[in-house]
Structure 1
Amino acid sequence: MVDGNSSLSVSAERRLQELGIQLPAAPTPFGTYVEALQTGNLLFLTGMLPVVDHKPKYLGRLGKELDVDAGRDAAYTAALSALAAAKQYLGSLDRVSRVVRLGVFMATSGDFFDQPRVADAVSDLFRDVFGIEKTSVRLVIGVASLPLGMPIELEVIFEVGE
């Protein structure tokens, strides 16, 4: 983990290098929409899914076909796609001035209650990349199903500067 006290002097791009994180190629749409859209100083990302090379990394529901660890990895994978989409759109993650909102939607069985622990995989990554002072508000919701049978979908809103 990157020390939160030094985060003001270290850029997000530099933190990625220090953490040894290689971003995947930015995701491409599964339908008729765009991956990122900016209005004013807010960058909205489309629902980010746990895909690798445009294929689902995980299928199923948490608490049924998948456990907490698989859910955390799926969430982390989707978060890497979010970072890749933002970087492609902005040119550099250093333009992100704040993570405004993180929505973590999970396909779950009816008796799965560990949603916050799964969502922390995303929150922890964003904290480590952008710094503790840019931590977002968060919404965590369990649902019956998500697109293409995947277990996780992220909603991400970044505030951007010049």
Structure 2
Amino acid sequence: MSKIEQRLAELNITLPTPAAPVANYVGFIRSGNQVIISGQLCLNAGKLSHTGKVGASVSKEEAKEAARYCAINVLAQLKAAAGSLDNVAQCIRLGGFINSDPAFADLAYVMNGASDLMVEVFGDQGKHARSTVGVAELPLDAAVEVEALFEIKA
């Protein structure tokens, strides 16, 4: 078992099969030593875990959990791209999109669900730059979507 797979097991995380794209795009692109992961929704066991507006029908705690599910799906795509998560040199950037009620402002708290997981899994190599934005709507009414950029070891 690889070091990162062992860490995932300690966290009680089993990576799912990478989600298939729902439109005309791919789940990831590998360019040189970089992997760009398309936005991943909050799927758990193949179904959306949280739908609706954060700050209205979805609490910030539920949305943080949704962001964690998004990050797990990012890792599934990353493993498919890199062959092994032990080949990851650095999480460079995460981008978070929160399907938020216009009055909801605690977007950073929600996105910490994804950011915290990257650090839990990769340690210092999981620390990253980040953008988080509130949006009016997401595909399938998902509460959260996360995209990512990683560096792979040469």
Asked whether the two chains share a fold, i.e. TM above 0.5, the reply is yes
Aligned twin of 1:45: 37
The question of whether the paired residues in 1 share the 8 Å contact of 2:93 and 2:129 is answered with yes
Q: Equivalent pairs: percent with the same residue?
A: 35
Tell me how large the CA RMSD over aligned residues is. Answer: 1.5
1:100 aligns with one of 92, 96, 101: 92
Aligned twin of 2:69: 77
Shift of 1:14: 2.5
Aligned twin of 2:83: 91
TM alignment of 1:117-132, pairs within 5 A: 117-132=109-124
Structure 1: runs of 5 or more not aligned: 1-9
Aligned twin of 2:17: 25
The question of whether the paired residues in 2 share the 8 Å contact of 1:106 and 1:152 is answered with yes
Alignment TM-score, normalising by the size of structure 1: 0.88
Runs of at least 4 residues of structure 1 off by over 6 A? none
Which SS does the other structure have where 2:80 is aligned? helix
Which SS does the other structure have where 2:54 is aligned? coil
The count of corresponding residues between Structure 1 and Structure 2 is 153
CA distance in 2, matches of 1:39, 1:102: 17
Aligned twin of 2:153: 161
Shift of 1:25: 1.8
Structure 2: runs of 5 or more not aligned: none
Alignment TM-score, normalising by the size of structure 2: 0.92
1:111 aligns with one of 75, 83, 103: 103
CA distance in 2, matches of 1:104, 1:119: 6
Which SS does the other structure have where 2:71 is aligned? helix
Shift of 1:53: 4.6
**1:111-140 deviations in whole A, cap 9, x for unaligned?**
111111111111111001011244000111
The question of whether the paired residues in 2 share the 8 Å contact of 1:28 and 1:54 is answered with no
Shift of 1:90: 1.6
